[in-house]
Structure 1
Amino acid sequence: MRVLGVDPGLTRCGVGVVEGVAGRPLTMIGVGVVTTPADAELGSRLLAIEQGIERWLDEHRPEHVAVERVFSQHNVRTVMGTAQASAVAMLCATRRGIPVVLHTPSEVKAAVTGSGRADKAQVGAMVTRLLRLDAPPRPADAADALALAICHIWRAPAQTRLQRAVAQHTAARHPAARHTASQHPAGPAPKGRTA
């Protein structure tokens, strides 16, 4: 499985591609950041992020895109910029038919370090170890993007099993619903009509 992780942000949008399957060593395919100038107009910045993500999708052809789920912070302006960059990443992937999955920061930290409260340095250190890198990726946004991809690769099998279980449960209930409807017809057909 090849996953593009996106750590959304207007000034620095971390991107990282990881390949592998749960339970086996993972490989980093690429890592970097898409940057925009803080003094540029919002529309131009979002366009630059879109173009950057499109280049990563073209070059690395991921099967899935994992994006950090935006969560509430004290700085509303920061949250808005993060949410807008997140939406651009989701749009780029969806336009190509690539499945998008959102992971919360605590899910990612827990998956990579074992603690949902790990700090950025701990995440960077574990990403370095898990991907057998010489040094932690810089800036931290790049390491976070790789952590998102790792999280998704490790969580995907469980998510797939859950989705299958839900689908089987729904399918099992559907025939019962039809059977109940046939036992309780809606009422007699209107007069003057034949079946």
Structure 2
Amino acid sequence: MGIDPGLTRCGFSVVQAGRGRSVIPVAVGVARTPSTDDLTARLLGLSKAVNEWMDDYQPDVVAIERVFERGNVSTVIHTAHAVGVLVLAAAERGLDVQMYTPSEVKKAISGNGRADKKQMTAMITRILGLSEAPKPADAADALALAVCHCWRAPMLARQAAVAEQQAKQLAKQKEMIAAARANALAKES
């Protein structure tokens, strides 16, 4: 599941990873909350929307855009509140959450970490073989996040396996050193 977080418009998408770089679109949409409502009502609305999506589609993992400073502190704070609600919904289901910066997603999808919205929408439309571009941009961004994760997941899994193996080797080395020290101390006694 890809999520482009936002308080006014939050993009949701669900894709299925195929073989290699093949990705199949399943669903895409946008949850909206009125800017005239108070923050608590808007967060509640967002919570209901993400929970409905998660209930309906049962994702295995959630890819969310990482909050970054856009120049407007108020926007960042509101987006951070939204991200908290979205991450909590995933955590309540025991889902893994992967966060990607906009430039990571742009680089993965278009090859250019500075691609604009138009380029990204065109690329995601082409990659997924859609007959028309997803609208609004939040929907296209949610799809891009999901595709980005599908493409990066194998590498992340390999990195996790390597880290786990290294941790086991380090623990074994520590055990061997401790045993050697204990043996040396016993010989000195």
Q: For the superposition of Structure 1 and Structure 2, which TM-score range results when normalised by the shorter chain?
A: over 0.9
**Matching residue of 2:141:** 144
**The residue matched to 1:57 in structure 2 has which SS?**
helix
Matching of residue 119 in structure 1 with residue 116 in structure 2: yes
Structure 1 alignment gaps of length 5 or more:
189-195
1:162 Cα deviation from its structure 2 partner? 0.5
**Matching residue of 1:72:** 69
**The residue matched to 1:184 in structure 2 has which SS?**
helix
**Matching residue of 1:57:** 54
- Relative to 1, partners in 2 of residues 1:33 and 1:6: Cα closer, same or farther, differing over 3 Å? same
1:24 Cα deviation from its structure 2 partner? 4.1
**Matching residue of 2:176:** 179
* 8 Å Cα contact 1:22/1:153 also seen in 2: no
CA-to-partner distance for each residue in 1:121-141, whole Å, 9 max, x for gaps?
A: 111001101111111111100
1:81 Cα deviation from its structure 2 partner? 1.1
TM-score scaled by structure 2?
A: 0.93
* 8 Å Cα contact 2:21/2:151 also seen in 1: no
Picking from 146, 149, 154, the partner of 2:151 is 154
**CA–CA distance in 2 between the matches of 1:121 and 1:20?**
24
Matching of residue 90 in structure 1 with residue 57 in structure 2: no
Aligned-CA RMSD value: 1.2
* 8 Å Cα contact 2:2/2:143 also seen in 1: yes
Identity %: 46
**CA–CA distance in 1 between the matches of 2:9 and 2:154?**
30
Q: Number of paired residues?
A: 183
TM-score scaled by structure 1?
A: 0.90
1:160 Cα deviation from its structure 2 partner? 0.5
* 8 Å Cα contact 1:112/1:127 also seen in 2: yes
1:182 Cα deviation from its structure 2 partner? 2.6
